[in-house]
Amino acid sequence: MNDALMERLTAFLYRENNRTLVGTPASQEEVAEAEQRLGISFHKDYVQFIRTFGGAYAGIAVHAFSNGSSIGRETVTDLTLDFREQCKELPCGVFLKSSYVISLDGSGNPIFLNPAGEVLIYYHDNGETEVLAGSFEAFIEDNFFEW
């Protein structure tokens, strides 16, 4: 991710009153273990984010392995495996075999990264998938606003 965005995120997340929005940075071992377990490779921008902030709030909750207490305890691995199971008989099951769930919208719809690095959402109600951003970096840029 670009340096300016990382600096903005760092300044915001490490303010004293925002400590519940930032988790513990992911280790290389956690990243490697999750990639192996999920059978995917995380995009480099997502890895940079979680290696710096853990699971953190960047305009939307981004799950990792150790999330900020305001984010919830579900890891990226938990979310991905849960949605793979829930969607195995649905069209989204095909997408999720090679993707990983990084967040949920306010209605419980999974937001995930595909192998091309695009950020997508799957809408349970109508079975549609929509591209939210062409990259993880663009997704954060689109959603992150400092208070």
pLDDT of 147 over the 90 cut? no
Q: How many domains does the chain have?
A: 1
CATH number of the domain bearing residue 128: 3.40.1580.10
pTM of the model: 0.94
Strand partners, 130: 121
- Residue found under tokens 């208070």: 147
66-103, pLDDT tens digit by residue? 999 999 999 999 999 999 999 898 888 888 999 999 99
Residue 23: per-residue pLDDT: 97
The CA distance from 136 to 78, in Å, is: 20
User: How much is the pLDDT for 56?
Assistant: 97
Confidence at 146, pLDDT banded by 50, 70, 90: confident
Summarize pLDDT for 23-82 with one digit per residue, the tens.
999 999 999 999 999 999 999 999 999 999 999 999 999 999 999 999 999 999 999 999
Instruction: Give per-residue pLDDT as tens, 104-131.
Output: 998 999 999 999 999 999 998 898 999 9
Inter-CA distances, 92 with 9, 98, 100, 113, 126, Å: 31, 11, 12, 13, 11
What is the average pLDDT value for the chain, to the nearest integer?
95
Q: If you average pLDDT over residues 11-32, what whole number do you get?
A: 95
Residue 86 structural domain: 3-143
Look at residue 96 in the predicted model and tell me its pLDDT.
92
